[in-house]
Structure 1
Amino acid sequence: MAASEGACLNHVSRESPDIKRLAQFYTEVFGFEQLAAPNFPFGVIWLKLGSFYLHLIERDPSTKLPEYSAMSAVAAPENLPRGHHVCFSISNFDSFVRTLKDKGIQVHETCQPDGKTKQAFFFDPDGNGLEVSSARPAP
């Protein structure tokens, strides 16, 4: 049995100084729903979109962030195709990107070499890289 047999993604977590602001962004922009979360000694918000889970965790205010952090990994969305990001497939790609722009979110749009798959890169309020793609994930 391979060590990874049966393995699957459980969740992605994002640390933030303002988890309520970040939760509002993900619920308004992507349509995540908020779930009940266990009672931790720090703030957490658990979100779900389809079968994808996002855990927002309150940053310890006494922790000094390293010089190289999510906020400074890349300075602009056009650098995200080679930077750290999480990608969501979006069926209504063009209207979704238009909504991002209407919200004042800076977006870098590109197209994969196949000429069919559209991509848009942007940041959440904490500077985490995001991508939306017109392609459906492979089964």
Structure 2
Amino acid sequence: MPLGGLQHYTIEPQDLERTKAFYCDVLGLENGDRPPLDFPGYWLYSGGQATVHLMGTRKPREGIVVRGTEKKYEDTGRLDHIAFAATDVEAVRKRLHASNVTFREQIVPRTGDTQIFLYDPDGIGVELNFPKS
């Protein structure tokens, strides 16, 4: 059973609205259609695909495990980062600077591609990959 492409990843952020603003306003994802689920959240789209799901507080129910109220938001477990293909590195640099987002940048040896690394409001690493122009 081979796997297909990654469909989405889900974050249970400490501050739902702040995290939505980061992914939409800073990274340029679009808030889009989401089924009428019984808990708050957002589906954020990239290239027409609901790539990032933000999940608000859920109520425990049969078959649903809900984390306790003593969440450790500073701990993202073993997740290190998520990577996106990106374009227009100069515009992204300007957008990050304008939003006061700290980031680091590097050039990939051999390919010459540019990578930008940053963290979302909950400390999840985000990698942006720009092909060499």
Pairwise same-fold verdict (TM > 0.5): yes
Q: 1:125 aligns with which of 105, 118, 121?
A: 121
Q: Which residue of the partner structure matches residue 92 of structure 1?
A: 88
Separation in structure 2 between the aligned mates of residue 59 and residue 114 of structure 1, nearest angstrom: 45
- 1:34 aligned to 2:31? yes
> Where in structure 2 are the equivalents of 1:1-139 lying within 5 Å?
3-4=1-2, 7-53=4-50, 54-59=52-57, 62-66=68-72, 69-70=75-76, 84-114=80-110, 116-135=112-131
Separation in structure 2 between the aligned mates of residue 30 and residue 99 of structure 1, nearest angstrom: 8
Q: Could you tell me whether the CA contact under 8 Å between 2:31 and 2:42 is conserved in 1?
A: yes
What is the letter of the counterpart of residue 58 of structure 1?
Answer: G
Residue 21 of structure 1, CA deviation: 1.5
C-alpha distance after superposition, 1:21-80 (max 9, x if no partner)? 21111111222222232233321111111143211001468432359712x87xxxxxxx
Instruction: Identify if the C-alpha distance between structure 1 residues 121 and 40 changes in structure 2 by more than 3 Å, giving closer, same or farther.
Output: same
After TM superposition, the score normalised by the length of structure 1 is: 0.74
What is the letter of the counterpart of residue 63 of structure 1?
Answer: T
Instruction: Identify if the C-alpha distance between structure 1 residues 115 and 65 changes in structure 2 by more than 3 Å, giving closer, same or farther.
Output: same
What is the letter of the counterpart of residue 55 of structure 2?
Answer: I
Instruction: Identify if the C-alpha distance between structure 1 residues 131 and 64 changes in structure 2 by more than 3 Å, giving closer, same or farther.
Output: same
After TM superposition, the score normalised by the length of structure 2 is: 0.76
Residue 95 of structure 1, CA deviation: 2.4
- Give the aligned length: 123
Separation in structure 2 between the aligned mates of residue 41 and residue 123 of structure 1, nearest angstrom: 29
